[in-house]
Amino acid sequence: KSTKATAAKAPNPQRRTVRLTHPDRVYWPEEGVTKEGLADYYTEVWRYIAPHIVGRPLALLRAPSGIDGQTFFQKHAWKGINTNVVEVQDPAEKDDEPYVAINDLDGLIGLVQAAVLEIHPWGSTLADWERPDRIIMDLDPGEGVEWQTVIDGAEETRKRLEAAGLNAFVKTSGGKGLHVCAPLKPSARWPAVKAFCKGIADSMAKDSPDKYVATITKSKRRGKILIDYLRNQRGMTAVAPYSTRARPGAAVSMPLAWDELSADIGPAYFTVENTPARLQSLKADPWTDFTGAARPLKTVRQKKT
């Protein structure tokens, strides 16, 4: 492989020193993506994914035999964990098992070594577990919902976040839907952030009951989009931008510019295979300003009695 021009701009710890055992193990059989192929993918996207997965508790979907084998959704550290992966203690739950975090590319490759095929970070960082630095509204289309309706739902969610003084970004889930995310200056605590997100979901369902629901009940979801606000609670997670999905197709969750939303780009359009080409052809990651666009959530102050 030739050296890419972009490599010069890459942050320092681009180096990869973790040795993979069984590099030829196949994780996505249909696409022939191996453990080593996954490590190469994450090395390629490292500088884009890093701000979203470094320094926060991570839940991990592991699939030691690939996507067709058994999978584990793992919230805590395990025995024999790679030494580049960091164990962290929840400051509010001293007796709890340690959580998993990473600091650098080697930490990420340590996760690949452990057959981690999906990375689901918390919405708050290790610097402040109680105050989230992002909101994630998860749009889950029920059966029979057209893709354009999901796009409209994302735009509607964006409008409401912006009306509250926040900046909104969109990504594909790599599965069936879209995620609308808003970076926060960590100030409001989890309960206030959750209440705010519930407010958005409830008002969308109230204003357009034919299009949106805000409650999980499966039977009510047919033909509608669930505005799943429940990612926004302490301890809950959502798949990271640029994370792969342990599903057929080797899709990834892809940050998009708002004007890229179209019929041409479905929720699982971007994959391990076509993402490197996308990043090389883009002038900038559409989420470049994500961190800088953080605003504090202005919550209604409770009167003390």
Residues 5-44 that bind ligand ATP (CB under 6 A): none
Strand pairing class (212-213; 225-228): parallel
Q: Which one of the spans 44-52, 96-104, 204-212, 233-241 is the region binding ligand ATP (CB under 6 A)?
A: 233-241
Q: Where are the alpha helices (DSSP H) in the chain?
A: 35-53, 105-113, 147-163, 190-207, 275-281
Member of 106, 138, 156, 285 binding Mn ion (CB under 5 A)? 138
Q: Is 24 helix (H, G, I), strand (E, B) or coil?
A: coil
The smaller minimum CB distance to Mn ion, of residues 100 and 239, is found at 239
Q: What does 237 bind: ligand ATP, Mn ion, none (CB cut-off 5 to 8 Å by kind)? A: ligand ATP
Residue of the chain from 40, 44, 104, 138 that contacts ligand ATP (CB under 6 A): 138
Token digits of residue 164: 């509250």
Show the CA angle centred on residue 65, arms to residues 63 and 67, nearest 5°: 60
Binding partner at 72 among Mn ion, ligand ATP, none, C-beta below 5 to 8 Å by kind: none
Q: 18 or 54: whose CB is closer to ligand ATP?
A: 54
Residue 237 per-residue DSSP state: B
Max Cα–Cα distance, the chain, nearest Å? 67
120, 131, 158, 160: residue in contact with ligand ATP (rule CB under 6 A): 120
Best CA proximity match to 140, nearest among 195, 247, 222? 222
**Contact predicate 187/125, CB 8 Å:** no
Please state, in angstroms and rounded to a whole number, the distance separating the CA atoms of residues 100 and 78.
Answer: 9
Does position 175 interact with ligand ATP (CB under 6 A)? The reply is yes
Please list the residues that pair with 282 across neighbouring strands.
none
Directed axis angle between helix 35-53 and helix 105-113, to 10°?
140
- Build a one-symbol-per-residue string for 189-228: x at contacts with Mn ion by CB under 5 A, - elsewhere: ---------------------------------------x
Tokens of 243: 């994370």
- Smallest gap from Cβ 94 to Mn ion, in A, equals 31
Residue 285 CB neighbour total at 10 angstroms: 19
Find the binder of ligand ATP among 140, 181, 184, 285 (CB under 6 A): 140
- Residue 279 beta carbon to Mn ion: minimum distance, rounded to whole angstroms: 24
Q: Does 239 bind ligand ATP (CB under 6 A)?
A: yes
Q: Is 173 in the site for ligand ATP (CB under 6 A)?
A: yes
Binding site for Mn ion (CB under 5 A): 138, 140, 177, 228
Binding site for ligand ATP (CB under 6 A): 59, 73, 120, 138, 140, 173, 175-177, 231, 237-239, 267
